[in-house]
Amino acid sequence: MSWPRTAVVVLVALVLQVTLLSRFSYEGARADIMVLLAVVAGYRLGPERGAIVGFASGLSFDIVLSTPLGLSALIYTVVGYGVGAATSGMVRTSRWASPLVAAVGSAVAMVLYALVGAVLGEPTLSGPSLASIVVLVAVVNAALAPLATRAIDWIKVDDRDRRQTLFAR
């Protein structure tokens, strides 16, 4: 996995999340493409790298949120790892697999985020209904899954790149 490319993908997704997607809402619910990175990374790169990308995307999103620092990072790490572990034996040739995994993984992440936030005393279950958040995030992330899959595939490093060190580039 290329660390500079991972940083670029996370930064671009964060900028899109904060500038573009934060302006659109449905019944108060907003899209969350940062969790999409964790889900697709787990699906395409495996559980360990999915957890790493999930942590990076969650922590970068936590910086701009008013929730406790680390809540998104925790959830996205668990989801990235969980999706990678759950889909490790899955056939990836179907073009519907990526959007389906993105929708289900994103829905699980939003429910988990709301539950962990409620346990920590955050008002995650007040405001927009959890059902509208889950549906909106799942639908948007399923639609954006092919783009996220291309971005995550871009950060993969093939065998000839592994022989070079990060500083040799």
Going along the chain from its start, the domains and CATH numbers come out as 3-156 (1.10.1760.20)
Tell me the pLDDT tens digit for each residue of 53-108.
999 999 999 999 888 899 999 999 999 999 999 998 877 778 889 999 999 999 99
Instruction: Tell me the torsion sign for CA atoms 92, 133, 85, 58.
Output: positive
Distance CA(121)–CA(62), nearest Å, equals 17
Which pLDDT belongs to residue 141? 95
- Considering 19-23, 123-127, 131-135, 156-160, the range whose residues carry the highest mean pLDDT is 131-135
The CA angle 63-66-72, to the nearest 5 degrees, is: 60
Residues 105/148, Cβ–Cβ less than 8 Å: no
Distance CA(64)–CA(84), nearest Å, equals 27
Could you give the percent of the chain with pLDDT greater than 70?
93
Average pLDDT (8-25) is: 92
Could you give the percent of the chain with pLDDT greater than 90?
69
Give the least confident one: 102-106, 127-131, 150-154.
127-131
Cα–Cα distance list, 116 to 11, 75, 76, 79, 150 (Å)? 25, 8, 12, 13, 31
3-state class of 137 per DSSP? helix
- Report the candidate in 43, 68, 57, 75 with the shortest Cα–Cα distance to residue 121: 68
